[in-house]
Amino acid sequence: MPASVEIESLRKVFQRRAKRGLLSRRGNGTRTLVAVDGISFSVTAGEVFGLLGPNGAGKTTTIKMLCTLLTPTSGTARVAGHDVVKEATKVRAALGTVMTGERSVYWKLTGRENLAYFAALYRIPSRQARPRIAELLERMELTARANELVEKYSSGMKQRLALARALLAAPPILLLDEPTVGLDPQAARALRELIGSLRHEGRTVLLTTHYMAEADALCDRVAIIDRGRIIALDSPASLKQSLKAKEAIRMEVQGSPNGLEDALRALTTVESVSAKQSDNGSGTCELQVITLGSRGCIGPMIEAVRRTGHEVLHFQVVQPTLEDVFISLTGKSLRE
């Protein structure tokens, strides 16, 4: 299978103007931020490939370089065999893109009008556009609301319309930047099913996400990205398999996370720990621990937590997830 996307030592450095007084101003008063730090990977035709990483990891910057919205600082990227810098027009023609947080459809038009407008923009002859639009509306379950203004749509419907727009010109490759972010669980599930169905028509999908379950459920292969670097790349099953000799433990503990990580890291059987305040407002915190095997270490772990003045409310040994792979590699949780 030929590669649909090939990225080689890709780097993006942003220049930022230093805030006056806060940072010493050297030279021209700018400082640099390395958003993407020399990443390489290729996506095979027909594959659903995920770029999984926390906020700020460099996912969107990578997608923007691929769809020619940003110019790489160095390195190369090819889409359908075309260089993103030298053959930008051909690259754009091979791509359908859905970016996050951007209004990729017009709220003052109906769903159907949006698709007709973009079909004209992409120079799709109207004889072809009409059935194509009807088919996409049907597929995205928007037919019943196709003649309503988009401003009345739910977030899930807007995102499905954005996907329909990206599919209009039947591009071989789709770039989806955090496709389900901000959607309620039901809308996210519906969208995931639609993305999954793209695989069956042989389309190549490169998506980004910070939801490990999404990467796990949808992707043939996942590249885990952190601080602009790829720290692991494999199928979800193989990534989890890499933790086979280890066990993942979840604990719910009374109080704040203070001191918990250090106390647990001091145990020889503990490989990595992430402690987070629960976001349900219960005043508890959640611990995710990777151990070299839970046998014999449960007592000492609970003891170590108690010594910090916390009480263990819940304790569970679980199957490692991609989140545990991330914690094991970086020592922090994906949600940070």
Ligand X SMILES: Nc1ncnc2c1ncn2[C@@H]1O[C@H](COP(=O)(O)OP(=O)(O)O)[C@@H](O)[C@H]1O
Which stretches of the chain bind Mg ion, using CB under 5 A? 59-60
Min separation Cβ 256 and ligand X, Å: 27
Residues in region 167-226 near ligand X by CB under 6 A: none
Task: Report d(CA 121, CA 97) in Å as an integer.
Answer: 15
Which letter does DSSP use for residue 143 in this model? Answer: G
Longest dimension (CA), the chain: 73
- Structure token digits, residue 193: 């099913």
- Asked whether position 23 contacts ligand X by CB under 6 A, the answer is no
- Asked whether position 330 contacts ligand X by CB under 6 A, the answer is no
The amino acid present at 243, given as its one-letter code, is L
307, exposed or middle or buried, with CB in 10 Å at 0-12, 13-18, 19+? Answer: exposed
CA 165 to chain centre: 20
- Structure token digits, residue 22: 């806060």
- How many other C-beta atoms are found inside a 10 Å radius of the C-beta of residue 15? 10
Min separation Cβ 55 and ligand X, Å: 4
140 vs 218, beta carbon nearer ligand X = 218
| Partner in contact with 292, chosen from Mg ion, ligand X, none, beta carbon below 5 to 8 Å by kind | none
Min separation Cβ 258 and ligand X, Å: 27
Task: Report d(CA 78, CA 84) in Å as an integer.
Answer: 6
| Partner in contact with 33, chosen from Mg ion, ligand X, none, beta carbon below 5 to 8 Å by kind | ligand X
Which letter does DSSP use for residue 57 in this model? Answer: S
- Asked whether position 38 contacts ligand X by CB under 6 A, the answer is no
Which letter does DSSP use for residue 33 in this model? Answer: E
59 vs 203, beta carbon nearer ligand X = 59
- Asked whether position 126 contacts ligand X by CB under 6 A, the answer is no
- Site mask, ligand X, residues 43-82, x = CB under 6 A? ----------x-xxxxxxx---------------------
**Residue 300 · residue 269 · CB < 8 Å:** yes
Min separation Cβ 58 and Mg ion, Å: 8
60 vs 321, beta carbon nearer Mg ion = 60
Residues in region 271-310 near ligand X by CB under 6 A: none
